[in-house]
Amino acid sequence: MLETIIKLLKHFRNGKRGVSNVIVVMLSLILVVVIVSNVILWSYQMNQFDWERMQEKIEITNVARETHSPWFVAREEYQLNIGNWVNGTYIDTQAADEQYEEFTEAPGGWYNASWIYRKPVVINNTQNSNSLTDFQVLVIVDTASLITVGKMRSDCGDIRFTDSDGLTLINYWIESGINSSNTNVWVKVPFIPASSTITIYMYYGNPGATSLSNISGVLEATYTKINVAYEWKTRISTTDVANGDDVGSWQGITFDFPFWREFKTRVYVCSNGFGVFDPTASTNDYSNSLTELQQRWKIAPFWDDLRTDTNGGIVTNAGVYVDKYSDHFVITWETTRYGASGDSIKFQAILYRNGDVRFNIDNATNFSSFTPTLGISKGNSVNYIDITNERATGKSWLFLLRKYIPNEPTSMVGSEETKGKYQFDIAGSFIVDLSTYPIGHIETLEIVLRYRANDTYERWYVKAYNWINGQYSNVGFNLTTGHIPTMGWDYYAVNLTTAWDSYVHNNGTILVKLCDEATDINQTTIDIDFLGVRAIIDGTSFDLKNGGATNIRIVSIWIINSTDHKRYDANFFMNSGENAVYIRADISLSTDGFIVRVITERGNIAVFRSD
Ligand SMILES: [Ca+2]
Ligand SMILES: [Ca+2]
Ligand SMILES: [Ca+2]
Ligand SMILES: [Ca+2]
């Protein structure tokens, strides 16, 4: 507007007519009015700001070290996995005030009511940092003691294994030892978390059940070869079962040997360095080749044209010897090369009751003169392993029908649980406020439960969902043994130590579970007065008071001590007359003296000095 008037004034000054002088005077007056009114408006705005600024009265009443967040409590009803709701709501669990939510145990998590007993089996994979899928684990069970007291069928036909839910059947194969103190059972566990344990269950106690032992559902369809440390099994037998050139004999195996998952009870051992299982095969063949190996159902630790009727080189008792044990079967060859008795070699094949095969080559004279074929084969030209080019003296291989890792998980059978019976498992979702308590400034988390049980027969556990391995757990908590109730109100607090961050999702969610120890015959009632989660921090709380007549916005905080002079952005409002506690997880106070300044958007400063 000012520019327009000034342009008009210039225009009229250049004009010649008298009327233009009148207009110039009028425009000049308008110009003066506009300028003056702008100055008044500006002055008013300045006074308004100064006035508001003068109205602010911000005060810091205290500054202190803050060691934890407030409690984060249930925001919605608990999920009942196993258990009954009786009374109250989740809101009653938000404060320790003896207003509580009540639940009871319920029958649940039991595979089938026809089975009376089960034992938990803890699979321990803590020595292995990888999770395992469909992994064969050996479980050794004392079935004899259960059969003696009439709890299990004498043929172990009522054994069932379930996954960790206690419900889902998983495949098992009883390798050996039915009705003995060492019954070897292989279980194919669907998922075993990394560096952790998982509990599966073995059920029994149903006289009408028949066996579901199933080797094909447990062992792999084909062998895997593992290179293992050289090891020689000392020969015991002095009976040569294949004395001569291109000769051999059938040998009974002391157990059902599951070669490629098919049970074999005998093997033909030939002086030419192999064993065959198929009675129709050419049993004395010396014309070795890979093609021939592929077509034979055989083991060939060192298939070549050998003889066992001549000593030479390292061989002083030429022959094929068999040592029979209850769980393994050792065939030892001490041979010379046909046509060159000075070329000699000693080697072994060991067949194990679980289907494993081991080859050992001990030593040789003129090793490079031999032209053997080494491997194992199912004889269908598809399933075979050829290790001919790996041959060397002082060498061992292991062939497995199982998955393999160097530190295999172990298993331990726990105490018997009786059917019927009552369990409890509820879960709630809690949200840690990560905007106020950023992950980088949380030291750990605490979970506190205030509860009451009406019996003391079992322990109660607080667990949380581990977002990394995908299951509820208390691994890494400072307490993992649960809590024994007293019948009155009890506090049970756990600290998640440095493991806490696995239990918090990056959106702040932590899923907390309360569960019982085991199935039992007492239907326990559980009252939850309080369940909460809080973050442990090394932060600072600022007690602020807005004693002024206007609302204010805090925009920054300064912390000043002898070594530091730091500014932190802030952004929050305080109403007129409001007292507020402002917590910062990212500000740690020094133990020396310090000065705190809080600065408002309008530029006011409150100061606090520590003593
Ligand atoms: Ca021969
Ligand atoms: Ca129970
Ligand atoms: Ca109970
Ligand atoms: Ca309560």
Q: Report which bound ligand comes closest to the CA of 333.
A: 1
The lowest-confidence range among 193-207, 408-422, 530-544 is 408-422
Distance 121 CA to ligand 3 centre (A): 21
The lowest-confidence range among 96-110, 202-216, 461-475 is 96-110
What number is the average pLDDT over the span 333-338?
A: 97
Question: Which of the four pLDDT bands, split at 50, 70 and 90, describes residue 48?
Answer: confident
Left, alpha or beta for 27 (phi > 0: left; psi -120 to 50: alpha)? alpha
Question: Which of the four pLDDT bands, split at 50, 70 and 90, describes residue 47?
Answer: confident
Distance 518 CA to ligand 3 centre (A): 8
- pTM, 2 dp: 0.60
Question: Alpha-carbon distance 390 to 396, whole Å?
Answer: 10
Do 361 and 393 touch, CB atoms closer than 8 A?
yes
Distance 103 CA to ligand 3 centre (A): 12
Distance spanning both ends of the chain, measured CA to CA: 60
Question: Alpha-carbon distance 563 to 94, whole Å?
Answer: 42
For the cut 60, the answer to whether the pLDDT of residue 135 exceeds it is yes
Do 468 and 444 touch, CB atoms closer than 8 A?
no
Close Cβ partners of 47 (under 8 Å, ≥ 6 residues apart):
none
Q: Report which bound ligand comes closest to the CA of 287.
A: 1
In which residue are the tokens 């063949």 written?
Answer: 285
pLDDT at position 282 is 65
Comparing 427 with 563, the larger pLDDT belongs to: 427
pLDDT at position 55 is 82
pLDDT at position 3 is 61
pLDDT at position 381 is 94
pLDDT by residue (tens digit) across 310-329? 999 999 999 999 999 999 99
Distance 282 CA to ligand 4 centre (A): 81
| 471 closest CA partner among 203, 187, 165, 138 | 165
What number is the average pLDDT over the span 598-606?
A: 94
Q: In what order do the strands lie in the sheet with 460-466?
A: 79-82, 425-431, 509-516, 460-466, 471-473
pLDDT at position 543 is 96
pLDDT at position 30 is 77
What number is the average pLDDT over the span 497-515?
A: 96
Q: What stretches of 285-376 show up as alpha helix (H) in DSSP? A: 290-294
The lowest-confidence range among 255-259, 443-447, 516-520 is 516-520
DSSP letters along 495-518, please?
E-GGGGGGGS-TTSEEEEEEEESS
List strand residue ranges (DSSP E) for 152-228, in order: 160-162, 169-170, 172-176, 183-192, 197-204, 224-228
Close Cβ partners of 15 (under 8 Å, ≥ 6 residues apart):
none
Give the type of residue at 432: V
What number is the average pLDDT over the span 94-99?
A: 96
Give the type of residue at 345: I
Q: Report which bound ligand comes closest to the CA of 485.
A: 3
Give the largest CA-CA distance in the chain: 147
Distance 71 CA to ligand 4 centre (A): 13
Angstrom CA distances, 86 to 83, 106, 518, stand at: 10, 12, 21
Distance 271 CA to ligand 2 centre (A): 63
pLDDT by residue (tens digit) across 65-79? 999 999 999 999 999
pLDDT at position 108 is 73
For the cut 70, the answer to whether the pLDDT of residue 11 exceeds it is no
Residues in a beta bridge with 115? none
What number is the average pLDDT over the span 565-588?
A: 92
Distance 150 CA to ligand 1 centre (A): 56
**% the chain with pLDDT above 70:** 94
pLDDT at position 10 is 60
Angstrom CA distances, 500 to 67, 176, 209, 227, 514, stand at: 16, 43, 45, 40, 17
**Mean of all residue pLDDT scores within the chain:** 92
pLDDT at position 59 is 95
Distance 117 CA to ligand 2 centre (A): 14
For the cut 90, the answer to whether the pLDDT of residue 44 exceeds it is no
For the cut 80, the answer to whether the pLDDT of residue 417 exceeds it is yes
Angstrom CA distances, 242 to 238, 247, 289, 338, stand at: 12, 6, 22, 15
Left, alpha or beta for 355 (phi > 0: left; psi -120 to 50: alpha)? left
Comparing 590 with 601, the larger pLDDT belongs to: 601
Cα-Cα-Cα-Cα torsion 20, 22, 23, 26, nearest 10 degrees, comes to: 160
Q: Report which bound ligand comes closest to the CA of 454.
A: 3
For the cut 60, the answer to whether the pLDDT of residue 12 exceeds it is no
pLDDT at position 142 is 98
How does DSSP classify residue 440? Answer: G
For the cut 90, the answer to whether the pLDDT of residue 562 exceeds it is no
Distance 520 CA to ligand 3 centre (A): 5
* 42-46, long-range: CB < 8 A, 24+ apart: none
Do 431 and 75 touch, CB atoms closer than 8 A?
yes
pLDDT at position 18 is 55
For the cut 60, the answer to whether the pLDDT of residue 1 exceeds it is no
Question: Alpha-carbon distance 301 to 351, whole Å?
Answer: 12
- Which helix or strand (DSSP H or E) is residue 36 part of? helix 19-55
pLDDT by residue (tens digit) across 210-243? 999 999 999 999 999 999 999 999 999 999 999 9
| 260 closest CA partner among 278, 233, 272 | 278
pLDDT by residue (tens digit) across 339-373? 998 999 999 999 999 999 999 999 999 999 999 99
pLDDT at position 67 is 94
Distance 485 CA to ligand 2 centre (A): 13
Do 174 and 354 touch, CB atoms closer than 8 A?
no
pLDDT by residue (tens digit) across 269-310? 999 999 999 777 668 889 999 999 999 999 999 999 999 999
Distance 388 CA to ligand 1 centre (A): 18
Distance 457 CA to ligand 3 centre (A): 6
| 444 closest CA partner among 531, 503, 509, 530 | 503
Q: Report which bound ligand comes closest to the CA of 528.
A: 4
What number is the average pLDDT over the span 569-574?
A: 94
Distance 253 CA to ligand 1 centre (A): 24
Q: Report which bound ligand comes closest to the CA of 529.
A: 4
pLDDT by residue (tens digit) across 431-474? 999 999 999 999 999 999 999 999 999 999 999 999 998 999 99
Q: Pull the structure tokens for residue 65.
A: 């070290």
What number is the average pLDDT over the span 137-146?
A: 98
Distance 451 CA to ligand 4 centre (A): 9
Close Cβ partners of 565 (under 8 Å, ≥ 6 residues apart):
558
pLDDT at position 22 is 66
Distance 203 CA to ligand 3 centre (A): 20
Distance 305 CA to ligand 3 centre (A): 71
Do 121 and 172 touch, CB atoms closer than 8 A?
no
| 135 closest CA partner among 66, 219, 200, 208 | 219
